[in-house]
Chain A
Amino acid sequence: MSKIIGIDLGTTNSCVAVIEGGEPIVIPNAEGNRTTPSVVAFSKTGERLVGQVAKRQAITNPDHTIMSIKRDMGSDRKIRIEDKNYSPQEISAMVLTKMKQEAEGYLGETVSQAVITVPAYFSDSQRQATKDAGVIAGLEVMRIINEPTAAALAYGLDKEGNQKILVYDLGGGTFDVSIMEIGDGVFEVLATRGNNRLGGDDFDQRVMDYLADEFKKTEGIDLRMDKMALQRLKEAAEKAKIELSGVLTTNINLPFITADATGPKHLDVTLTRAKFEEMTADLVEKSMAPLREA
């Protein structure tokens, strides 16, 4: 009896899960991560790369690297790579194939059936395109589920009787908010709004800007001019953001971040949750507008 996998086919990252012993389990990919970048690339040697490996080479091979294909689902856009045209369905199918393979590697058996999630605002043609992508990937798509419905199911809200809920989904690069009614196992999306250019990355950017500004104030050097320093700032900003979910204050410690004639410079900044909330208040406010509309 083969397993049915559940795939969250995201704009920036995708995730695959399976029910095991009655519990949903997120399947880690071969690199041990719970999500896989939704990135497809064709290397210079003609090899097809999907996921983290595709993302790692993106900067040196931008013309043959496809990101955020989800935004084109349901359109008749063609992606031309060398002398071949690909539809968004075909590109998405490559991501789905990768997720399928990860699941097969984990389960040790072939997988042929899947449930795939789509945003609640997806039109029929976008849903059909997603289904087609599944078929191209060799998957029988048992069901296309709305993302907020999947979220509500994951929280077990279907077992709590009839109620109205709000699902706030802030992804890496997109934001969706939905109001749903749950009753007798039926999920109805009453309203859905979003902003497809707002995500966690914007919050990281704010922290980076803050750190760079603080450093400029004390040392007079703009770290944004230094690519290596910028990369370290980016990682530190994301780490600080994550830490501030659990603690009220965090220390950003970047010794030897840069140097000038007067010697090496260090970045040592303490960031409080209050400060973080203050600098990202407008981003949260940005998400409130669609929320009120919904």
Chain B
Amino acid sequence: MGKDLVKDNQFEDNTQNDSSVNDEDDVDRISRSEDGEDTSLTKPEEELAKVIEERDKYLAMAQRIQADFDNYKKRNKTSIAAAYNDAELETVGKFLPVLDNLHRALDISGEKGSSHAEAICKGVEMVTKQFTDILEKMGITEIGGEGEPFDPMYHDAVMSVEAESEEEKNTVTEVVLMGYKTEDKVIRYSMVKVAN
């Protein structure tokens, strides 16, 4: 009963100005409200206005997204080429401080002869560390592998030597040239001597 009352109230609130509806019997009134207040209770003009408003809203939204997308596409076309170029230059930029330090090392070596060999050597050691630090920050690590099993996925065998023991067979005995890799890509295979 309480439920019906609520429905009645809603019904009357929405149709205060419509006397013809009010004249109908109780059963009809309840069933009408159950059919859905929206369709039966608002005037068609209001309904239409609301739908038009919504349509305009969605149209504007669609147009905005389309415009965003068109711009995106336009930019995307040129941005791939530009990104490649930028990445290259950015990488070079990362290594320029190494070059600066090499110049400094050369300047000082030329200036003072070889009398400070130890200090210069220490400096060049630091420059080397600077270089490998940059590589490390870029996610690039060394492929060494001395004493490890030979793995053609990472190693390039350039020489075969006699194994000194059974265990040494098919292992790397010497890294001739250090290799480098990222997490999922080899930049350069390490050149190795393999025992057989």
Measuring CB to CB, which residues of chain A are less than 8 angstroms from any residue of chain B?
1, 20-21, 32, 106-109, 251, 253, 255-256, 259, 262-266, 268
Do A263 and B112 touch (CB < 8 A)?
yes
Query: Which chain B residues numbered 62 to 106 have a C-beta less than 8 Å away from chain A?
Result: 63-65, 67-69, 71-72, 74-75, 86, 101, 104-105
A263 to chain B, nearest CB (A): 3
Indicate if B21 sits at the interface (CB-CB under 8 A).
Answer: no
- Report Cα–Cα, A20/B71, bound state, in Å: 10
Given contacts A21-B68, A259-B112, 14 further A-B contacts (CB under 8 A): A1-B63, A1-B67, A20-B71, A21-B65, A108-B74, A255-B104, A255-B122, A255-B124, A256-B101, A256-B104, A256-B105, A263-B120, A264-B123, A265-B119
Please state if B108 and A253 are interface contacts (CB–CB under 8 Å).
no
Cβ of B123 and Cβ of A256 under 8 Å apart?
yes
Partner of B123, one of A1, A20, A109, A255: A255
Q: Main secondary structure on chain B at its contact with chain A?
A: helix
The residue of chain A having its C-beta at the shortest distance from the C-beta of B116 within the complex is A263
Which chain A residues lie closer than 8 Å to B133 at the CB level?
Answer: 251, 253
**Interface size in chain B (residues, C-beta < 8 A):** 30
Query: Which residues of B sit under 8 angstroms from A32, Cβ to Cβ?
Result: 86
Alpha-carbon gap, A32 to B86, bound state (A): 9
Contact of A108 among B65, B75, B101, B123 (CB under 8 A): B75
**Which B residues are CB-close (under 8 A) to A1?**
63-64, 67
Measured CB to CB, the nearest residue on chain A to B119 is: A263
Question: Which B residues lie within 8 Å of A266 (CB)?
Answer: 119, 122-123, 126
Chain A nearest CB from B61 CB (Å) reads 10
Query: Does chain A have a CB within 8 A of B115?
Result: yes
| Contact, CB under 8 Å: B71 / A255 | no
Chain A residues near B65 (CB-CB < 8 A): 21
B127 in the interface (beta carbon within 8 A) = yes
Are B64 and A255 closer than 8 Å at their CB atoms?
no
Q: How far is the CB of A6 from chain B (nearest CB, A)?
A: 16
Q: A1-B63, A264-B123, A266-B123 are in contact. Are A255 and B72 (CB under 8 A)?
A: no
Pull 30 A–B residue pairs with CB atoms less than 8 Å apart, ordered by A. A1-B67, A20-B71, A20-B72, A21-B65, A21-B68, A32-B86, A106-B75, A108-B74, A253-B130, A255-B101, A255-B104, A255-B105, A255-B123, A255-B126, A255-B127, A255-B130, A256-B105, A256-B108, A256-B123, A259-B108, A259-B112, A263-B108, A263-B115, A263-B120, A264-B108, A264-B112, A264-B119, A264-B120, A266-B119, A266-B123
Q: Which residues of B contact A265 (CB under 8 A)?
A: 119
- CB-nearest residue of chain A to B89: A32
In the bound complex, residues from chain B placing their C-beta under 8 Å from that of A263 are: 108, 112, 115-116, 118-120
* B126 / chain A contacts, CB cutoff of 8 Å: 253, 255, 266, 268
Q: In this complex, what residue of B is CB-closest to A268?
A: B126
Q: Which residues of A contact B72 (CB under 8 A)?
A: 20-21
